[in-house]
Structure 1
């Protein structure tokens, strides 16, 4: 699970003064293709260490400048989620030549907020909207490490469902391309969907080792202790990912495919003992301001699965056709989405009360399909479909805030949804 900061930024962008220019741009006519790069400099790095930026660059000292390479670099720098404004300028080392043969290449950045005490929010299909307090550092030691402590409680009713959490993550470990995500979570709430007291301690570590530029090996280990249930439920998983997206955040073009196998539980009278096979496929294509996305999430769980881990469908993070309830539970699941996004406003830098951030606005419409079943192969009775539309606000840390209305012919009335992160992200962690 990732951080859930900055709910207030959803309204802050309205009054902020955003720069009119593209937040990722070339700010010099001296940056011509083929110019030799004699040196590379950085401007604006107050807290971030230079190697955090340089390891994302394809331009090297002694090489040649390429506008196409910069287009790729700027997306990689955007994925760091550390900067609100990024552009380059070039200084000719041969001032008498109209098209310089040698240049100094400078990357200019404006850093996002770093330390921030803030309200903490989380929106799940089970607990609804949860609010609390958080203290986060989005760039620990300038090394692109994110750490956050949180307390959250459900608002209906207050203090009945509570969570205490600590998160830490980074795309690198000691300079190696080994991404990691650590999570500690204490939950004490009544799960009215699956009918048990969720008094749980959870420790989780996910790692992603990038062997090649588009291929990664994935691993995870989880220690989960249910006080009022089976006790210890360990998890161990391995997988791989193939990633040809142009950007991890706000993807516009490319494909992503992930396949994982995870063993859960140790058996026993109340325990679980099953294997989960996960397939996660995503494809995106852009034409002008229109971004088309097709995603599929399939999870099969042969073995002994108890109610603690039943999947549920319904809500902003799964199926936008009805709310989640105890009638829509299952051992296996399939979630399919076809979505069209219209980029109403591209990402823009802004500042409010001295806090630097960025925002973008997108209109969305799409189709959701839900398949949820217990045994054997699914049939049409396990299928549901819905249409939805709404507005997405792209912001730091949360990726996006989603305001959507869904409608399913089987249920006959529209439902309003509020969600955080892209649905393909929130669908993966909703069970926790």
Structure 2
């Protein structure tokens, strides 16, 4: 039998009635044979003759339900009970309420013992599993068409929703000129998962063109001028962007002529199918010229337009002008004119087609906030209260302090809110301003008097209605506790916390109600009650994933934090979505619960992904400006200059259907030519904490003026993430470094030694621990790393040496967490062993520049060649950086994006590791007189060089743009024997770059 829920009772009384009702009142049918799978019809059997017979078995049969056990508790008709047609009716209704079924047939048969076997045969509803658009690559895009369809993943399918979706897409197509577009839906049905995948194939046809343009109203311009201003002419292609920009240009034209009330709209669009054109009718009411003047004070036009909202609202009325008066008053008050008064007059002159608006400003005398006094506070100290205030006394860059009536009112509200949220429900704050404070003209004192009133505490806290989650667990989640201050803010926070906890454990219908009433024996206490209505717990039935073309399904499945049979958790759904985005394989990841309105206790969860393009091409052009740039062979220190950079990269995502990536990176510049190929394989050996990277690159580097290094290197790396902060790197590096002899600017006798090609094979280990809040602009946390490696003949290396480098950086916030003190210490050393006597030149340490020691130009620190004066690097380095970072500076035009730094850098590059300890307290270059003896120079560059300086940081979305100026307090001297002269490194160096120094 077929049982629509409305007429189920009648249906159960007679088979004839069943047939009649089913034919007239059945649920909406699925699409015809082309759109929906057919369901065989079963013969009808009356239950009247079976009433009262014992029921031996009750089953639910559906192609979409693999395990119907979760449906059995919904059936009111139980086994081993007499057949009751009313219970059967209630059972059918309960199955309908799940939302999973469109038609339910009840079969009743007798077994060999004469008992009833009852079967509820359910025909499933279908829900949208994926919704895609094909055939629209340009405007409107497929995404725009999907948005216009207003179809939602997981909602129930019906022909009506498809028709409405097509109508919505046709509308946006017509807005873009495609009046001849055809949209054909196709369906892929999946009865098992009750989903239908819909593909809309769009054939746009030819785009309509602009036909006649009719102008009505009072434009004050001829139609040809209007077309030229709007850049909309007959014959142009029709598009939504074109018409939107046309309206914007016209409004801008009228506003530019101070017709601020001008109204421009398109009132009619008439499509002419015979020639595929669209006629427009524009209605333009230009309005009067609005002349805004300011009298009594100087206020530049830009500020008038900023503070008077008639320029943004395209309207003129008293409310907007009054708001503009308040804004102008507040502006002058923040500049120290605390008694400023602003009024306005508006006069219409229809004969002259003008509206004259005059803001009359009475600045009064300029004042200075010399003191802000807070009294009456006992529960909170003054520092806590001041943290919530915008009022500021004069001092620093605030020459007159910060005060206005609106700021004072806002601060009063904030302080009262602070007290109310801590149980002082009757707290009041009164603000008072005293002029000519202590007889000093123009000095004002702002007084804030706090009347705390009694504090209301929580007497008893009663939680009831919960059964699935214990009271102890709920109490651990909430802020409200007995004996603590009572506030509605805490009650609201508890509601959010508790409901989220239930949501994430599969209770989507949970309700939380709070109430408070005075305690019967203590007027300063309230008894709080939390009533919880849990609702039914919902579990995950299946995970349905669509949109995979190249990606292998297991790659997605392993990222799923939510799994079948688990409670339906919002938190786990969001975590699954985040993990899928983190793979970098998908442009979008949409998720939804199938059948969201149904009462089913088991629901499918849909994930629809859109794969990203597998090939990505990026290119860029950049430069850096600083001192110490390589120049000619006669400039050991280099010159101040800029180095251009051009880059071109190719990235191949989704390699072999996995989250593996192949990357080609190239860079060409004055200082560096670079080509790299890398292969990255996350989840190595299916371990989410392991990532394998293989890299091969060629480098031609000229950032050290002494030589040009050509490096061919291959490396394999295993990255192990122990936790969010800690990472281990295991690497095997194999490289061949050569130095062209004609680029080696040192003593000619050393050229054969240093220019020999060197092959280096080195296993290395790196430990990283990073707890910084933002690696590009850190305010708190630490950064610790050490790296060690050994180059040996055992690994195919021609040079034998060990290498160690460590860094410790810390960041401290202070003074209301607005200032930052940052420090960093780096130490590194290399030691040759076995048959190796010296470290190859490209493997040595070099320092100097914006990210190491700002007292030196780029790579200018440490030992130098005495014949040419060029740096040679060293086998050890020690650097210590101290930096004080200010909060944003309140300067005009830059807002809160500009801040300053003051720094002290110390350290150097040393000849060997043993020289670090000997030089730690050596503040000047030893024996400078011997170093300047050109006849027989003997130089020692092992000492601690100090630099002080300052800089600015301008915050951008990609990190702070930095400009630093450093002054070297004790730069070294050195001879240039080849040119028979001596030199000294410059004191001043400047650097322009992106990012903090460390």
Note if contact 2:695-2:715 (Cα within 8 Å) is conserved in structure 1: yes
1:279 shift after superposition = 1.8
Instruction: Rate the CA distance shift 1:120–1:233 in 2: closer, same or farther, 3 A.
Output: farther
Measured against aligned partners, the alpha-carbon deviations of 1:154-209 in whole angstroms (never above 9, x if no partner) come to 17xxxxx633333444554354322244433323355653x234132122333212
Measured against aligned partners, the alpha-carbon deviations of 1:10-59 in whole angstroms (never above 9, x if no partner) come to xxxxxxxxxxxxxxxxxxx9982331255589999999888878877877
**Number of the residue aligned with 2:993:** 418
CA distance in 2, matches of 1:248, 1:49: 34
Higher share in helix: 2
**Number of the residue aligned with 1:186:** 698
1:305 maps to 2:839: yes
Instruction: Rate the CA distance shift 1:239–1:342 in 2: closer, same or farther, 3 A.
Output: same
- In the alignment, which of 946, 949, 959 is matched to residue 384 of structure 1? 946
The structure with the largest alpha-carbon Rg is 2
Measured against aligned partners, the alpha-carbon deviations of 1:241-293 in whole angstroms (never above 9, x if no partner) come to 345456767666544433332113559xx964321122233445677677665
Measured against aligned partners, the alpha-carbon deviations of 1:309-367 in whole angstroms (never above 9, x if no partner) come to 232222223223442254544322233444648689xxxxxxxxxxxxxxx97856353
Note if contact 2:585-2:659 (Cα within 8 Å) is conserved in structure 1: no
**Number of the residue aligned with 1:131:** 645
Higher share in strand: 1
**Number of the residue aligned with 2:709:** 198
Which residues of structure 2 form unaligned runs of 5+? 1-495, 507-538, 631-641, 739-754, 833-837, 863-872, 890-895, 924-942, 970-985
1:150 shift after superposition = 0.9
CA distance in 2, matches of 1:145, 1:406: 41
Secondary structure of 2:684's partner?
A: coil
Secondary structure of 1:311's partner?
A: coil
- In the alignment, which of 269, 273, 279 is matched to residue 806 of structure 2? 279
CA distance in 2, matches of 1:362, 1:129: 25
CA distance in 2, matches of 1:250, 1:52: 34
Instruction: Rate the CA distance shift 1:252–1:43 in 2: closer, same or farther, 3 A.
Output: farther
Which residues of structure 1 form unaligned runs of 5+? 1-28, 156-160, 345-359, 425-432
Note if contact 2:855-2:905 (Cα within 8 Å) is conserved in structure 1: no
Instruction: Rate the CA distance shift 1:153–1:282 in 2: closer, same or farther, 3 A.
Output: same
CA distance in 1, matches of 2:808, 2:964: 25
Residues matched between the structures, number: 363
Note if contact 2:806-2:826 (Cα within 8 Å) is conserved in structure 1: yes
Instruction: Determine which structure has greater relative contact order: mean sequence separation of CA pairs < 8 Å that are 6+ residues apart, divided by chain length.
Output: 1
TM-score (norm 1): 0.62
The 5 A counterparts of 1:257-406 are 257-264=784-791, 266=793, 272-284=799-811, 293-303=822-832, 304-328=838-862, 329-337=873-881, 338=883, 340=885, 363=899, 365=901, 367=903, 369-372=905-908, 373-375=910-912, 376=914, 377=917, 378-379=919-920, 380=923, 381-386=943-948, 387-395=950-958, 400=959, 402-406=961-965
1:232 shift after superposition = 0.8
Secondary structure of 2:619's partner?
A: strand
TM-score (norm 2): 0.30
The 5 A counterparts of 1:3-402 are 32-35=500-503, 36=505, 38=539, 62=566, 115-119=616-620, 129-137=643-651, 139-141=653-655, 143=659, 145=661, 147-154=663-670, 162-169=673-680, 171-173=682-684, 175-176=686-687, 177-190=689-702, 192-193=704-705, 195-211=706-722, 214-227=725-738, 228-244=755-771, 254-264=781-791, 266=793, 272-284=799-811, 293-303=822-832, 304-328=838-862, 329-337=873-881, 338=883, 340=885, 363=899, 365=901, 367=903, 369-372=905-908, 373-375=910-912, 376=914, 377=917, 378-379=919-920, 380=923, 381-386=943-948, 387-395=950-958, 400=959, 402=961
CA distance in 1, matches of 2:898, 2:551: 30
**Number of the residue aligned with 2:750:** none
Q: RMSD value over aligned CA atoms?
A: 5.2
Instruction: Rate the CA distance shift 1:189–1:282 in 2: closer, same or farther, 3 A.
Output: closer
CA distance in 2, matches of 1:340, 1:47: 48
Instruction: Rate the CA distance shift 1:196–1:415 in 2: closer, same or farther, 3 A.
Output: closer
CA distance in 1, matches of 2:773, 2:557: 19
Measured against aligned partners, the alpha-carbon deviations of 1:74-106 in whole angstroms (never above 9, x if no partner) come to 7x89987889999x9986988699xxxx99798
